[in-house]
């Protein structure tokens, strides 16, 4: 059993904000597997389990708001009796440019409060994660304003391509080929394409 978690905030006002990039990625995965209506479970929206590539998968969008994501994830992990290494968390990252993705097997939260909450709740750094680049603001103003800002329409166009690349890597992760998954996704960038758009 593996759990894939997309981080974000509930409410239509957050739908296309940078901080909801994890939810946007998860939406693409759910669509690929023809999963529609979720169950309200573990303080969020929950799908599955569904069988894919010989592995039982479940999907979670915590509704605890970003900074308390760990409460939701911990409930799902405990109920399904899975190890933290079998949880893949997808979230936005200001340290990566728009159009870039990064997968890692473990590590710190890197300042991302949702991941920080999950690390604290599961009491380990060994949680796989997929980071979606949202870039830094041009001026070092209020970071909260930046991450909660709406993704410009011209940037939204690359999300389908990012989702294709992410799903290819996620399928390798599902099959246990983590190193190949990281090799495949960490070198991909749609940054230049976006800048030339």
Distance, in Å, from the CA atom of 149 to the CA atom of 144, rounded to the nearest integer, reads 8
Which positions ≥6 away from 149 have C-beta within 8 Å? Answer: 17, 18
Q: CA nearest 68: which of 105, 28, 113?
A: 113
Q: CA nearest 91: which of 68, 124, 114, 58?
A: 114
Residue 40: left if φ>0, alpha if ψ -120 to 50, beta else—which one? beta
Distance, in Å, from the CA atom of 109 to the CA atom of 126, rounded to the nearest integer, reads 11
Active site residue 52: no
3-class secondary-structure state, position 181? helix
Catalytic residue, candidates 19, 61, 100, 131: 19
Catalytic residue set: 19
């Amino acid at each position: 059993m593996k759990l894939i978690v997309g981080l974000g905030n509930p409410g239509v006002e957050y739908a296309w904000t940078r901080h909801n990039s994890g939810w946007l990625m998860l939406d693409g995965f759910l669509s690929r597997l023809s999963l529609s209506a979720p169950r309200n479970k573990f303080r969020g929206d929950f799908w599955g389990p569904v069988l894919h590539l010989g592995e039982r998968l479940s999907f979670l969008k915590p509704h605890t708001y970003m900074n308390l994501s760990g409460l939701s994830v911990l409930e799902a992990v405990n109920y399904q009796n899975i190890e933290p290494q079998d949880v893949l968390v997808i979230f936005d990252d200001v340290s990566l440019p728009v159009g870039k993705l990064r997968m890692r097997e473990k590590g710190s939260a890197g300042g991302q409060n949702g991941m920080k909450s999950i690390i604290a709740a599961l009491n380990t750094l060994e949680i796989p994660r997929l980071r979606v680049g949202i870039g830094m603001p041009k001026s070092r103003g209020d970071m909260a304003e930046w991450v909660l800002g709406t993704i410009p329409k011209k940037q939204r166009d690359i999300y389908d391509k990012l989702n294709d690349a992410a799903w290819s890597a996620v399928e390798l992760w599902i099959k246990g080929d983590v190193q190949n998954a990281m090799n495949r996704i960490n070198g991909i960038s749609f940054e230049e394409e976006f800048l030339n758009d």
